[in-house]
Structures are given as structure tokens and as C-alpha cells.
Amino acid sequence: MNKCSLLVPAIFVLFGFAAPAAADPCEGPLPKQPGATFGGTIRYVGDGDSLCVGRTNRPEEWIEVRLADFNAPELHGSAGEAAKQTLTRIAFGRSVLCRAERGRSERVISFDRVIARCQIDGRSLGDAMRAAGVAEGGH
């Protein structure tokens, strides 16, 4: 048996059976136009600047949001985990009103999330995160 015939099955085992990455539960259709407004309850917090908004308990109706006005540290570090915990404390389970807008790339949707500015009781979530002392620093 040559080395190549052993290598192909090994690669298949390594990559073919790799466990899928944990995915967020948000499956609802995303607003595609800047200025579109939507609201509901914050049902899920993915990290310090990503969350799901839904009017029902059905994930297939939840809209995945990337906050337009806050750039959290990446989740894999301690600052990222602290940002997620803060956003959860500030927002999870609360009613929110969001407005889609264009990001730096001029797109409204980025990585399967709508870019939006969201408010709870008239206060921006980005402002609330900064007021809570969360440093910005993600991508």
C-alpha cells in the first residue's frame, strides 16, 4: 500500500467527520433594506455584539442582528466573554426596537446577520454597553 492510499482516508476522517461548529438558533428572514424597522424580545445573545430578536418563541422567526453601533472584543478571549455576559445582563429577555442600516462595507447583511442599531426604552444597546464599561475592539 502506498502512502497516498493511506493519506486520503486519514484526511476524510479528520475533515469528513469533524463536528460542526455551534451555531446560533436564529433562523428568521433578515430585513434587506436600510431603514427597515423590526422589534421583539431579545431571545439569544451570541456574543458582545450579536443577538437574536423575535416576537415569538419560534427560532425560525428570530432575526439575527449584528449591532451597528458597538464592536465587541472577539468571543474567544476573556474580554469577549465579559462583553457577552454584559450584553446578556443588559438585554436578554427585554423588548427591543431595531433599525437596519448599512455597515462599513455598505451592505445591510454581513455574515448572515442584519446590521442594525437597536434600542431598549429609547437607549442604544451600543451606548448601554459603553456605559457598562465594556471596551470595544472586535472586527
In order, the DSSP letters of 22-62 are P-----SPPP-STT-EEEEEEEEEEETTEEEEESSS-GGGP
Amino acid at 71: N
In a domain, residue 8? The reply is no
The enclosing domain of 58 has a CATH number of: 2.40.50.90
pLDDT confidence band for 22 (50 / 70 / 90): low
Contact 136, 126 (CB under 8 A): no
pLDDT number for residue 15: 35
In a domain, residue 49? The reply is yes
In a domain, residue 5? The reply is no
pLDDT number for residue 138: 65
Give the structural domain span for 124. 26-131
- The three cell numbers locating residue 127: 451606548
Task: Kindly report the pTM of this predicted structure.
Answer: 0.81
Number of domains observed in the structure of the chain:
1
In a domain, residue 126? The reply is yes
Kind and range of the H or E element at 83? helix 78-91
Q: What is the pLDDT of residues 82-118, one digit of tens each?
A: 999 999 999 999 999 999 999 988 999 998 999 999 9
